[in-house]
Structure 1
């Protein structure tokens, strides 16, 4: 059985994330979408809320499971028999950052990283940008699955313009 992990904060999960999840699910027997628990970072959504949103939006793919982890990703991979990390790349700046992590992960435990270019319609979308636009009352419906959009709208109080 081939296993991969798509790690991230997913705060909130976007359509760009779903694109990567769907493509990874077609390549591997099992894909874990793993939310990094970073106690030093306050997110828009709690970890349990992110896990719930991810379960809802990945339900079309039966080989995707949702989990969270803290610590080193490669240790999480080793414990779960995961041999590949899947990362979406929006552009060259993502690659510059991610290639160093991929090389470090490979040297630590032999886990490989597969880079998937983000679909062009999602290449400019980030969770941070979605949160910022939503906080000013902007329409982010084109970037989020409906269940996530509803959660963002219920959570983000638009700022005064």
Structure 2
């Protein structure tokens, strides 16, 4: 069984995340959307809201599970017997950042990172931009799935 973990804070999930997840479905038998818990970080949305956003967005997709975890992502991958980490790339800056993490993760655990480029028209979307638009009362609806708009 080909199983991948797609880790993130998903604060909130965006259409960029959805794009990567939907395009990865034919590649894996199971994808775990893994919300990393970091007590040092301030989130806009509670953990419960973020879990709900993911579950609602993919309620009709049996290949997807939503889980939370603490600690190193590669340790979570090992616990879940997932040999692949799924990551999305929006630009060259993401590539440089993700490459160093992928090399470290592989050295630590043998977990292989699989990168997908965001589709055209989605590379400008990030959770931090969505949060900024929300904080300033702007229309963020074109950047997030319906579950976040409610």
RMSD: 0.8
In the TM superposition, residue 76 of structure 1 has moved relative to its aligned partner by 0.5
TM-score by length of 2: 0.97
User: May I ask how many residue pairs the two structures share in their alignment?
Assistant: 150
TM-score by length of 1: 0.90
Instruction: Give unpaired runs (5+ residues) of structure 1.
Output: 151-161
Q: Larger relative CO (CA 8 A, sep 6+): 1 or 2?
A: 2
In the TM superposition, residue 93 of structure 1 has moved relative to its aligned partner by 0.2
After TM superposition, where is structure 1 displaced by more than 2 Å over at least 4 residues in a row? none
Cα distance between partner residues in 1 of 2:26 and 2:13: 19
The answer to whether 1:13 aligns with 2:29 is no
Cα distance between partner residues in 2 of 1:17 and 1:30: 16
In the TM superposition, residue 4 of structure 1 has moved relative to its aligned partner by 0.2
Q: Which one has the largest radius of gyration?
A: 1
The answer to whether 1:92 aligns with 2:89 is no
In the TM superposition, residue 38 of structure 1 has moved relative to its aligned partner by 0.3
Residue in 2 that maps onto 1:80:
80
The answer to whether 1:60 aligns with 2:55 is no
Q: Please show how residues 94-109 of structure 1 align to structure 2 within 5 Å.
A: 94-109=94-109
Cα distance between partner residues in 2 of 1:146 and 1:52: 12
In the TM superposition, residue 48 of structure 1 has moved relative to its aligned partner by 1.7
Q: Please show how residues 11-160 of structure 1 align to structure 2 within 5 Å.
A: 11-150=11-150
